[in-house]
C-alpha cells in the first residue's frame, strides 16, 4: 500500500490495476485478515495444512534463504500489501529453475517490493540481466536498498509504467525477439492472455514463461454460491480463460505447478 505523507492511502496504483475504490478497501480488509497468517507461515499457499507449510519453510526454505532475501521478506511483511509478495518457497523454486536453465536474460512483469526480482538477480550469473516492469516505482524503491546491498542491482533494468507499453517498446527492437530465457508474469491478471500473445515473441525457443497465481486461491473451482472476496471473483474468469488457452496452445509444453498460489510453466517449443 502506498501511504502518502498525510497518512492517506494512495489509491492511484490500484485504479491503474483496474480496481475501484471499493475493491481497494476489500483487498485491504483481506490483507489485514491474512496478515497474521502471512507472518506465521507465509501466504497464498494452497497447501491446506499450515503446520505442514511451516515445516517446509522451517526445514528447507528459511535455513537456505540468503540474508538479503530474508531482510526484504521481513521488510515487506511490515507493508500492508504484503499478501502480494512471492512467498519464499516459490522464490526458492524459481531460483532452482533459473540455475537449471543457466538463464542469463530474463523479464519480470510485476515487481512490487522485489522479492522474486531479488531471487532472479541472485540466481543470474554476474553478467546476467533482468528487465523488471512495474507501474509502481514507489514499491520498487522500498526494496531497492536491500537489492543494492545484495550486490546485484547492476543486473536489474527497472522500467516504470504499464507493462504492456514496455513490452511494445521491447518488441520494436528485433534484437529482443526470441531472446529471453525466462519470463515471470505476476502483475495484472486480466491481462495475462494479452501478455502471452506478446511474450511468445520475446521468449526464446526452449525458454520458459511462468504465469503466477494460476490457481487463484482455489477460487477457480468455487461453487456459484460460495462467498468470494470481490477481487478473487473479478479476476477468476481471466485466469480460467488463460488456463484453458495455455492447455491448448500447441506452441508450448506446460506444467501447472501447485506451489504457492499456482505457477504455470510454459516452455516454448517452436
- 156-160 β-sheet, strand order: 156-160, 129-134, 105-109, 180-185, 203-212, 263-268, 252-257
**Is the torsion defined by CA of 75, 81, 87, 90 positive or negative?**
negative
220 in Cβ contact with 15 (< 8 Å): no
From candidates 42, 110, 128, 210, binder to ligand SAM by CB under 6 A = 110
Coil, helix or strand for 192?
Answer: helix
> How far is residue 200's CA from residue 184's CA, in Å, rounded to a whole number?
13
Shortest Å, Cβ 125 to ligand SAM: 21
Residue 186, interface with Ca ion (CB under 5 A)? Answer: yes
Q: First vs last Cα of the chain: how many Å apart?
A: 40
Partnered with residue 183 across adjacent β-strands are: 107, 209
Residue 68, interface with Ca ion (CB under 5 A)? Answer: no
Residue 195, interface with ligand SAM (CB under 6 A)? Answer: no
By CB under 6 A, what part of segment 136-155 binds ligand SAM? 136, 139
If the CB atoms of residues 130 and 163 are measured against ligand SAM, the closer one turns out to be: 163
Residue 162, interface with ligand SAM (CB under 6 A)? Answer: yes
From candidates 65, 68, 186, 261, binder to ligand SAM by CB under 6 A = 186
From candidates 24, 61, 75, 85, binder to ligand SAM by CB under 6 A = 85
Residue 80, interface with ligand SAM (CB under 6 A)? Answer: no
Residue 182, interface with ligand SAM (CB under 6 A)? Answer: no
Shortest Å, Cβ 212 to Ca ion: 4
Look up residue 5 and give its DSSP letter: T
From candidates 24, 57, 84, 124, binder to ligand SAM by CB under 6 A = 84
From candidates 122, 212, 217, 262, binder to Ca ion by CB under 5 A = 212
Shortest Å, Cβ 180 to Ca ion: 19
Shortest Å, Cβ 248 to ligand SAM: 25
Residue 116, interface with ligand SAM (CB under 6 A)? Answer: yes
Per the structure block, which three cell numbers stand in for 45? 499457499
- H/E element, 178: none
41 in Cβ contact with 50 (< 8 Å): yes
Nearest in space to 185 (alpha carbons), one of 169, 205, 163: 163
153, burial (CB in 10 Å: exposed 0-12, middle 13-18, buried 19+): middle
Binding site partner of 182, from Ca ion, ligand SAM, none, Cβ cut-off 5-8 A by kind? none
Which stretches of the chain bind ligand SAM, using CB under 6 A?
Answer: 13, 17, 84-86, 110-113, 115-116, 133-136, 139, 162-163, 186-188
Which stretches of the chain bind Ca ion, using CB under 5 A?
Answer: 186, 212-213
Amino acid at each position: 500500500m502506498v501511504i502518502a505523507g498525510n497518512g492517506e492511502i494512495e489509491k492511484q496504483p490500484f485504479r491503474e490495476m483496474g480496481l475501484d475504490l471499493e475493491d481497494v478497501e476489500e483487498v485491504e480488509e483481506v490483507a489485514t485478515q491474512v496478515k497474521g497468517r502471512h507472518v506465521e507461515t507465509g501466504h497464498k499457499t494452497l497447501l491446506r495444512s499450515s503446520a505442514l507449510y511451516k515445516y517446509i519453510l522451517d526445514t528447507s526454505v528459511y535455513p537456505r534463504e540468503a540474508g538479503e532475501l530474508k531482510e526484504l521478506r521481513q521488510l515487506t511483511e511490515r507493508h500492508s500489501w504484503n499478501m502480494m509478495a512471492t512467498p519464499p518457497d516459490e522464490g526458492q523454486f524459481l531460483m532452482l529453475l533459473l540455475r537449471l536453465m543457466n538463464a542469463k536474460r530474463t523479464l519480470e512483469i510485476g515487481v512490487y517490493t522485489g522479492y522474486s526480482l531479488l531471487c532472479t538477480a541472485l540466481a543470474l550469473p554476474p553478467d546476467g540481466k533482468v528487465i523488471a516492469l512495474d507501474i509502481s516505482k514507489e514499491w520498487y524503491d522500498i526494496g531497492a536498498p536491500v537489492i543494492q546491498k545484495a550486490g546485484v542491482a547492476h543486473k536489474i533494468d527497472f522500467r516504470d509504467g504499464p507493462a504492456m507499453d514496455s513490452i511494445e517498446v521491447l518488441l520494436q527492437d528485433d534484437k529482443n525477439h526470441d531472446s529471453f530465457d525466462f519470463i515471470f508474469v505476476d502483475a495484472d491478471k486480466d491481462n495475462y492472455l494479452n501478455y502471452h500473445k506478446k511474450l511468445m515473441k520475446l521468449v526464446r525457443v526452449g525458454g520458459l514463461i511462468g504465469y503466477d497465481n494460476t490457481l487463484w486461491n482455489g477460487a477457480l473451482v468455487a461453487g456459484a454460491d460460495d462467498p468470494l472476496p470481490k477481487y478473487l471473483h473479478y479476476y477468476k474468469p481471466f485466469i480460467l480463460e488463460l488456463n484453458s488457452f495455455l492447455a491448448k496452445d500447441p506452441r508450448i509444453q506446460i506444467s501447472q505447478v501447485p506451489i504457492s498460489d499456482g505457477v504455470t510453466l510454459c516452455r516454448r517449443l517452436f
